Amino acid sequence: MSGAVEAAARRTMRTVPFERIVLVLACVPILLGPPLAALFLIGREAMRTPGFRFIDWLTPAMIAAVNLILSVLILRHLGGELIVMLREVGVWIQQDGSASPSGVPLRGI
């Protein structure tokens, strides 16, 4: 069964243009891997193809670069929020747990 699935996946990959795959990878938000993979594939294509024209790959490269920058900013902000939340939980645990960090009493529930 897996052989049939693998063969179908290979047929599908042959029918999808390489440029489309790179563009889809460049557009995946929040995750850092797909845009990095898109930039890697563009670089690999530049090394393998004589007469490579970067202007043809400018759109996916720019989308991947902007996506990476925005993703890092978002993840950095979320990391800061997570640290603040963990500190509040730590203080709450040290205070005997009589009230939640939001101030709502938990005893008697």
Task: Render pLDDT for 20-56 as a digit per residue (tens, 0 to 9).
Answer: 888 888 988 888 999 999 999 999 988 998 888 888 8
Digit-coded pLDDT (tens) for 48-83 = 988 888 888 999 999 999 999 999 999 899 888 888
Q: Does the residue 16 lie in any domain?
A: yes
Contact between 65 and 39 under an 8 Å Cβ cutoff? The reply is yes
Diameter of the chain measured on Cα atoms: 74
Q: Does the residue 61 lie in any domain?
A: yes
Count the residues in the chain: 109
Contact between 25 and 35 under an 8 Å Cβ cutoff? The reply is yes
Q: Does the residue 100 lie in any domain?
A: no
Q: Does the residue 74 lie in any domain?
A: yes
* Cα dihedral value 14, 16, 20, 26, nearest 10: -70
Q: Identify the domain containing residue 89 by its residue range.
A: 2-94
Q: Does the residue 13 lie in any domain?
A: yes
Residue 1 pLDDT > 60: no
Tell me the β-bridge partners of 105. 99
Q: Does the residue 33 lie in any domain?
A: yes
Q: Does the residue 20 lie in any domain?
A: yes
**Count of the separate structural domains present in the chain:** 1
Q: Does the residue 63 lie in any domain?
A: yes
Angle at which helix 33-48 crosses helix 18-27, to 10 degrees, equals 150
